[in-house]
Chain A
């Protein structure tokens, strides 16, 4: 049986799904009360008479019941991992075990302050220290910082460390090599650190072209940023040659951990001779994505970079107990205030404690197995083709091209993605990586059941059938979501980015 789907669609007059809080409040300034003793109130009044206060504030205030219903209705018009399959390639949308949530809501997690004395937050410091230790065992990289707030933040931290190292060596290397198929954030992070980006084209297998790499690597090379498996879901088999070439040229190798799920518990980053890496605690280690964040990036380094980590670093005293070490000799400084997204770190800690080493190995096995199963099944369908990696297993994800489907029936990857929504399946990543035309990047993760694997394949089969027989149905999709296709082009041509901009435009 295929699963059916119809998303909640609330509606209000004039083509509005759910009014904004501004419309709901309609000028009401709020009901919320807090009590203030008279003595305190009079102090406040006399203080206020001594300062300039704001003229007006148009902040709508609803009753708690209205707030609760408004946001509940919005939630009903949003699709989460607990709603169903969410196979966004490179995003590792795995299930978020509920124990993580429970632990992260402990008052000893929520109500502690970064500046309270170290001996009153030994528990929190221990968690940060322990997760660093666990990540070291998983990657082979001996030193970790949990300070970065996200993956891209970790990338910036990593390339800044490489920049500092090169400065200290007295060298003038200002280029970072990045494969064309890399995540967009790699290019942006390198640029933010002041590096020039040199693109490495793929070979006919979709892997790093070694000849192109040899030609690009040289005395200007500060390092290379590599994702392995790459964004095509293919393991860079020549990884040792790659790291050799970069090291041979005097550069360092940075590893983007976005795709670590594929090799968890099997391959150590240190064995691949990686110097600096970031891991995404919110992808690989099951912390939820929160509609876009918060995440947490962890940055791991080899001994050579130990003295460059951001401060402070959590360390353990020989006699027991944990402390914040600010005396990291050549530190790049802070990359944010305080010590990291602790609330997220706690979730990854719980995940690792439950899985253990065997569990991690099992995760990568099942993730890769699921991806290969779905890939093989999908390739049985007309118009779905692999551009790269035909002769080898994929890893945790794979990228198919719908170019043929588009040429034959005029149905693009975007149309298929939108139609998938009607089947109650969140669409995979589309049009990425750019080296594959009409790309669908599919990452089922280890958390899907046989039913959901088959259900996805069946949905795709139905859509291709529809493309053949009832094309408009696909072209006009989605139909079962809260809203039909929105016009993104006119939205960016005449942007309305806040309620006040909307009011201004509609009043005019």
Chain B
């Protein structure tokens, strides 16, 4: 077996070239050691094989590896390696399975949880494509000509997303929604040279927290405008941008799953004071809902985790960031952009472009520090969207809206539950109010292998006025039987 490992040894002939010094290792065979010498070798580290290592060291004129580290002060080199045990693949897999079996996952359980991370169907072809080593093992496509596949796939992501959003320029991806929003705020501050960020109270609370963290760094201010307690939509009257407002933000559907009706009016008000208008959207909902481009948005951000991706405990996700074709905006846009280009022989191809905005060229004057993004997730989204098409996406949206309205009505018919709290059309998510303790309700649901809604008391200081509510979520993975199962279980609880 060891002999087989050294496939490059004895049988390989030296290079026919006259420069005999070139092929150091291919000229002579290796000694085969009679004892096991692979004690610390990994089965993907060829040169940890002891005889190879010796030859490499001898070439450098070293007896052992110590001289390789002679530039490190002696006092810094630890004589012992970190106290971590090593295991074989079999053991690691067994341990992992045992640990992970403590998670309750979809399949064994029914989930009605949303709130920024969603369970949607993942078509099989998406997994197949993203498992191709050419996509998942490659780096950022710095060497254009050898990386056309990834470049075109990401360009297609940008293009498909541009259609969904009705925007012209979409970047190659961001970490996730909240960081895309935070970077949109920084971008708006640069474009307008103003410091105030105006956000609605009915946005996702965690997203607002992330925005605050970024604004602490950028020395920006956050101010909120409120929402209608009966309808759940933003209160246009409470929106008062001023001469220092860099941007006005709106989420659609908002945190409560309510579809905002006055998205265009919010934008007009922002523009009237010279602020940028930023919309946060769920791209999937745009199979039916009005896109940000139609509502006058200057920048669109959002989450694409569920476009062919898994929830996987909240990451990796797919941050979306888009803007209009306006150089004032595009020059300040963060993140990588893929553009079309032509070769010397006239072949159409794709390159990373407008890189002078980016950190590896512009350093501290770059539009962002982002380098690693979520490209593979963007490729997954491209596969998903090109399989769906406009029809498929509309189909999925219909199922989601239908499920949502059905569940809302059925839950409302129960004694101790009231839904929805807001008298509006909902997409995927909605609030349910109850006099019962939600932790108790959810623990009873768990006996039926159901993970129920998200109690709003999780976000301590927020939404107190909405009473004892929980955010429920349904998507196309639920059929009518699943929905009835939840309704019956809730009936049993009350």
Contact = CB atoms under 8 A, between A and B. Distances in A.
A17 B86 CA distance: 47
B73 A484 contact: no
Contacts of B141: 78, 291-292
Nearest to A126: B99
B318 to A, nearest CB: 9
Contacts of A101: 131, 136
Nearest to B365: A191
B411 interface: no
B354 to A, nearest CB: 6
A500 interface: yes
Interface in B474-488: 476, 479-480
B340 A491 contact: yes
Of A46, A79, A191, chain B has the most CB atoms within 10 Å of the CB of A79
Of A448, A457, A484, A495, chain B has the most CB atoms within 10 Å of the CB of A495
Interface in B103-157: 103-107, 109, 111, 113, 115-117, 119, 121, 123, 125, 127-129, 131-150, 152-156
Contacts of B164: 57, 59
Interface stretch (B271-279, B400-408, B461-469): B400-408
Contacts of B336: 292
B364 A393 contact: no
Interface in B386-438: 386-396, 398-399, 401-406, 409, 425
A60 interface: yes
A114 B87 contact: no
Contact of A112 (B213, B312, B370): B312
Contacts, number: 757
B42 A354 contact: yes
Contacts of B159: 20, 22, 498-500
B316 A344 contact: yes
Interface in A467-508: 476, 478, 481-488, 490-492, 495-502
Interface string B39-60: 1111011111000110111011
A185 B371 contact: yes
A78 B406 contact: no
A407 interface: no
A292 B355 CA distance: 15
A163 B425 CA distance: 44
Contacts of A169: none
Interface in A357-377: 357-363, 365-366, 368-370, 372-373, 376-377
B96 interface: yes
Contact of A448 (B46, B96, B346): B46
A213 B370 CA distance: 27
A192 B363 contact: no
A359 B41 CA distance: 7
Contacts of A268: 76, 78
B364 A450 contact: no
A61 B391 contact: yes
A354 B370 CA distance: 31
Given A74-B152, A80-B137, A137-B82, A294 B316 contact: yes
Contacts of B396: 34
A294 B312 contact: no
B35 interface: no
Contacts of A334: 178, 206, 209-210, 213
B226 interface: no
A68 B125 contact: yes
A226 to B, nearest CB: 14
B207 A337 contact: yes
A458 B23 contact: yes
Given A22-B159, A75-B134, A450-B8, A30 B389 contact: yes
Contacts of B172: 292
Contacts of A17: 148, 152, 347-349
A376 B60 CA distance: 8
B344 A16 contact: no
Contact of A483 (B105, B138, B145, B310): B145
Contacts of A458: 15, 22-23
Given A124-B313, A187-B359, A188-B364, A369 B144 contact: no
A256 B117 CA distance: 30
B45 A446 contact: yes
Interface in B161-220: 162-164, 168-170, 172-173, 175-179, 186, 204, 206-207, 209-210, 212-214, 216-219
A20 B290 CA distance: 25
Contacts of A105: 127
Contacts of B12: 1
Contacts of B315: 149, 294, 336, 338-344
A44 interface: yes
B294 to A, nearest CB: 7
B360 interface: yes
Nearest to A128: B313
Interface residues on A, range: 35 or more
Contacts of A488: 144, 341, 351, 353
A189 interface: yes
Given A75-B132, A163-B216, A337 B116 contact: yes
Contacts of A117: 442, 446, 451
Given A290-B135, A498-B168, A107 B107 contact: yes
Contacts of B89: 99, 354
Interface string B323-337: 001000010000011
Contact of A7 (B146, B176, B218): B146
Contacts of A436: none
A209 interface: no
Contacts of B342: 15, 486-487, 490
A15 B132 CA distance: 26
A132 to B, nearest CB: 13
B83 interface: yes
Contact of B69 (A61, A266, A292, A380): A266
B376 A290 contact: yes
Contacts of B447: none
Contact of A32 (B45, B67, B218, B391): B391
A75 B351 CA distance: 16
Interface stretch (A35-43, A216-224, A244-252): A35-43
A369 B26 CA distance: 18
Contact of B218 (A192, A289, A340, A492): A192
Given A32-B391, A267-B78, A294-B316, A111 B425 contact: no
A41 B316 contact: no
Interface in A1-58: 1-2, 7, 15-18, 20-22, 25, 28-37, 39-44, 46-48, 50-55, 57-58
Contacts of B217: 156, 159-160, 163, 192-194
Given A34-B396, A187-B363, A60 B139 contact: no
Contact of A369 (B47, B78, B170, B374): B47
A468 to B, nearest CB: 14
B369 interface: yes
Contact of B169 (A39, A70, A121, A498): A498
Contact of A54 (B42, B77, B288, B338): B288
A29 B391 contact: yes
Nearest to B375: A292
B69 A393 contact: yes
B232 to A, nearest CB: 13
Interface string A272-307: 100000001010000011111111000000000000
20 contacts: A1-B13, A47-B425, A78-B148, A83-B134, A95-B44, A103-B96, A124-B103, A184-B363, A192-B217, A288-B137, A292-B154, A293-B173, A310-B213, A333-B210, A334-B213, A356-B87, A362-B45, A427-B143, A451-B8, A498-B159
3 shortest interchain CB distances as A-B pairs: A61-B389, A30-B389, A338-B314
Given A103-B92, A450-B55, A454-B22, 16 more contacts: A15-B346, A21-B156, A32-B392, A36-B398, A41-B402, A61-B386, A67-B386, A74-B149, A266-B77, A271-B78, A290-B138, A335-B210, A353-B95, A446-B47, A450-B24, A495-B354
